[in-house]
Amino acid sequence: MQPMDRTKEQLLEENAYLKRLNKELLEQIYEDDITKSPWSGNLGQWFWDYPRNIVTFNPMKATALGYAPEDIPEEAGFEFFTEKLHPEDYDTVMDEMRAHLSGRVPVWEVKYRIQAKYGSWKVFYDRGKVTQRSADNKPLFLAGNVFDVTEDEILKEELIQKTAFWRTKARMDSLTNLYNAC
């Protein structure tokens, strides 16, 4: 039966079925994010219907930023996250996104700072790709994963500071406080 041969009621029933199926599949994917991919900082998968600009994402991503489910629009566009990007990261992130969407780079991959609901900053590592393109090569659908790497970045900065401190200490004579000839 072609879509034009169906009644409005049949189309509504099919739509309701597809929504139930989509909800079930997403719940299974989100559960798999936690149990089958327990990488540190994993916030789960995201999906972007590009023509409609609807991003479906694991709720852990929004929760990590301090948002409750009721804070998230039912149909969130990519702006829900990009408007929270650190101003110094915004252009780089958007350039990477445009490069991938146009097909100049095979994978979208970027690390950025993003502002949490109450003003603090998190560091996310995001990786994804266009999974479906139209006949004229326009993006239709994207999928990816996002990780909260904030703790890794904090530890990295602490190690850089400690290394600089100990490097300075190693160059200085502890008795005279003069620099060693190295």
Count of domains in the chain?
Answer: 2
Domain residues for the domain of 55 are: 39-148
109 shares a domain with 85: yes
80 shares a domain with 141: yes
CB atoms within 10 A of CB 45: 20
User: Torsion over CA of 123, 79, 116 and 58, rounded to 10 degrees?
Assistant: -80
97 shares a domain with 43: yes
Whether the pLDDT of residue 11 is over 80: the answer is yes
pLDDT per residue over 118-168, tens digit each? 999 999 999 999 999 999 999 999 999 899 998 887 787 888 888 888 887
Q: Residues with Cβ < 8 Å from 149, sequence gap 6 or more?
A: 41, 111, 123, 124, 125
- In the structure, what pLDDT confidence band is assigned to residue 169 with cuts at 50, 70 and 90? confident
User: Torsion over CA of 22, 23, 24 and 29, rounded to 10 degrees?
Assistant: 90
87 shares a domain with 173: no
Q: Residue 36 has what pLDDT?
A: 58
pLDDT per residue over 25-57, tens digit each? 767 666 665 555 555 567 778 899 999 999 988
Q: What is the mean pLDDT of the chain?
A: 85
Task: Assess if residue 31 is contained within a domain.
Answer: no
- In the structure, what pLDDT confidence band is assigned to residue 63 with cuts at 50, 70 and 90? confident
144 shares a domain with 162: no
Q: Residues with Cβ < 8 Å from 140, sequence gap 6 or more?
A: 49, 50, 51, 130, 132, 133, 134
Q: Residue 62 has what pLDDT?
A: 84
Using alpha carbons only, what angle is made at residue 21 by residues 46 and 47, rounded to the nearest 5 degrees?
A: 10
Lowest mean pLDDT among 5-14, 23-32, 39-48, 168-177: 23-32
pTM summary value: 0.72
Here the CATH number for the domain that contains residue 122 is 3.30.450.20
Q: Residue 162 has what pLDDT?
A: 83
Per-range mean pLDDT, top range of 2-16, 53-67, 84-98, 164-178: 84-98
Q: Is 160 exposed, middle or buried (0-12, 13-18, 19+ CB in 10 A)?
A: exposed
Structure tokens at 76: 């969130």
157 shares a domain with 131: no
97 shares a domain with 86: yes
Q: Residue 56 has what pLDDT?
A: 86
Mean pLDDT of 85-110: 96
Q: Residue 12 has what pLDDT?
A: 82
Whether the pLDDT of residue 180 is over 60: the answer is yes
Nearest to 114 by CA among 85, 147, 76, 91: 85
Q: Residue 138 has what pLDDT?
A: 95
Say if residues 104 and 75 touch (Cβ distance below 8 Å).
no
Structure tokens at 41: 């900082």
Task: Assess if residue 9 is contained within a domain.
Answer: no
Whether the pLDDT of residue 172 is over 80: the answer is yes
